Amino acid sequence: MIETTGFDRTFPAALAAVARAEFDYDDGEGVDFEPYDAFDSAEETTDWLRNWTGNHELDGDAFRVFGQDGTGGLAALWCVRPGRPLVEQPVVFLGSEGERGVVAANLSDFLWVLADGLGPLEVVEFEQYEGRVDPGLTELAERHAATPRRSTHDIVTAARTEFPNFSQEIDALCR
C-alpha cells in the first residue's frame, strides 16, 4: 500500500539546482530529461495519476513530480517513507507508455545518477547504464548529495532491492 508523508511540497535546494542545469539530449545519445523548477501542484499530480492509471478514485499525494522526458514520462519523488523528509524518498519514473521503475533510493543518489550522464528514462529503459560523466552535474552532486558517489548500477540495484514491489503497487492502482 502506498503511504504518504503529508502534504510537504517544499522544493528541495538540490532539485532547484538541477532545474538550473543544462541537459544535453545530443540527438538521442544524451540525457532525455527536462527538470522543473517546482513540483507539479497537487491538483496536476492527481489529474495525471488518475489519467495514467485509469483510476479516478486516487489522489496524487504519494508523488512529487519534478521533471519529465521528451515524451511526457514523469520523474517523481515517491513518498513511501512515512515521516521522512522529501530528500529521503525514492525517485521513480512513470513513462508515457506505461514504463515505470525505481531510479534511486533517495534524492542524493539520484544526483549521482545524473552526474553519470543518465536520466530517469535511461535508467528505467536500459539495463546497461552507460552514460557520459557530466562535469557540471558531478559538481552539483558533490555540493548537494549526502550520500557517497557510487556507480549508477550500484545505486539502481540497491533502490530496486529496497523497493522490489513498486511496479506491482502501481499495477494495483490501475483500472
All cell numbers assigned to 152: 549508477
Q: Give Cα 126 distance to the centre of its chain.
A: 15
Quick check: is 142 in a domain? yes
Collapsed DSSP state (helix, strand, coil) of residue 75:
strand
CB 121 within 8 A of CB 162: no
State yes or no: pLDDT of 132 exceeds 70. yes
> For residue 53, what are the domain limits?
13-167
Tell whether 5 is covered by a domain.
no
d(CA 28, CA 119): 12
Query: Residue 1 domain-assigned?
Result: no
Global pTM exceeds 0.85: yes
Whether residue 65 is contained in a domain is answered as yes
If we measure between CA atoms, which residue out of 60, 86, 66 comes closest to residue 8?
Answer: 86
| Residue 102 resides in a domain | yes
Q: Is residue 67 part of a domain?
A: yes
How many domains does the chain divide into? 1
Residue type, 85: P
Question: What's the rounded Cα separation, in Å, for the pair 120 and 142?
Answer: 19
User: Is 6 inside a domain boundary?
Assistant: no
Asked if the structure places residue 175 within a domain, the reply is no
The confidence score (pLDDT) of residue 108 equals 98
Place 28 in a pLDDT band, splitting at 50, 70 and 90: low
CA 15 from chain centre, in angstroms, equals: 11
